[in-house]
Homo-oligomer: A and B are copies of this chain.
């Protein structure tokens, strides 16, 4: 049991052996559950496997996730040996007051394992989501240097001007303070309907960015099933995060 700080304990079954450069992907419930669906997909396909759980009496609600008969913390760690990736996945909506402390924990944990870059995936609610053939994706960096290095990316545009709020915002903030890179992929999505199509767009970008192969088509084929399965999580998320308002990309004069 690692005591990360006074509010979080981490239990790890083993220490993942990461090659440099190492990445960490965060899947926390948010608009459209876009990131959440990506990390759950990696878990369900066996691409990453569980090696730890994170406990917090103060910041986690009194709810446990039951997995094959075993009650576990809803906040868990997964490791993809083949793709050299650590995943943090939350099986439940997190209370809004957990946003800053969790971001601190993520950054501290990333430091501990020499993670070079944290990757976040979030949704950008757009009113005309239904009319979009394929949702657009944008990137946000947490430093000017990093932004310059990202300018060459294809199939994802720069998020030029606007706002990002919700649980991923404090991670950009904390990682910037400790000089760990944080890439946020923002995909146009529904606000309060799980959006596997947006997740597929994000997963394509991430797999190409990290250089691994994954059959994204599964996400699209199982879209309806996924949507019904995590309807309850979407409901919880709506309640916990009433003030989602990651702004639309826009440019000033």
Contact = CB atoms under 8 A, between A and B. Distances in A.
Interface of A: 1, 9, 11, 44, 55, 57, 61-71, 73-74, 91-92, 96, 99-100, 139-144, 146-147, 150, 158-167, 169-170, 172-173, 176-177, 182, 184, 222, 225, 229, 232, 236, 245, 247, 250, 252-253
A68 B161 contact: yes
Nearest to A144: B70
A64 B158 contact: no
Given A62-B100, A62-B170, A170-B62, A71 B142 contact: yes
A1 B142 contact: no
A217 to B, nearest CB: 14
B163 A66 contact: yes
Contacts of A96: 62
Which of A100, A140, A163 neighbours the largest number of chain B CB atoms within 10 Å of its CB? A163
A106 to B, nearest CB: 14
Interface centre among A1, A44, A140, A169 (most CB of B within 10 A): A169
Contacts of A61: 165
Q: Which of A44, A96, A173 has the most CB of B within 10 A?
A: A173
Contact of A176 (B71, B139, B229): B71
A150 B64 contact: no
Contacts of A232: 245, 247
Contact of A229 (B44, B68, B252): B252
B55 A177 contact: yes
Nearest to A249: B66
Given A62-B99, A64-B172, A69-B147, 10 more contacts: A55-B177, A57-B170, A66-B162, A66-B163, A69-B160, A70-B147, A71-B141, A71-B172, A91-B163, A232-B247
B62 A165 contact: yes
Contacts of A62: 96, 99-100, 165-167, 169-170
A139 to B, nearest CB: 7
Nearest to A186: B66
A146 B1 CA distance: 19
A66 B245 contact: no
Contacts of A182: 71
Contact of A64 (B66, B143, B147, B173): B173
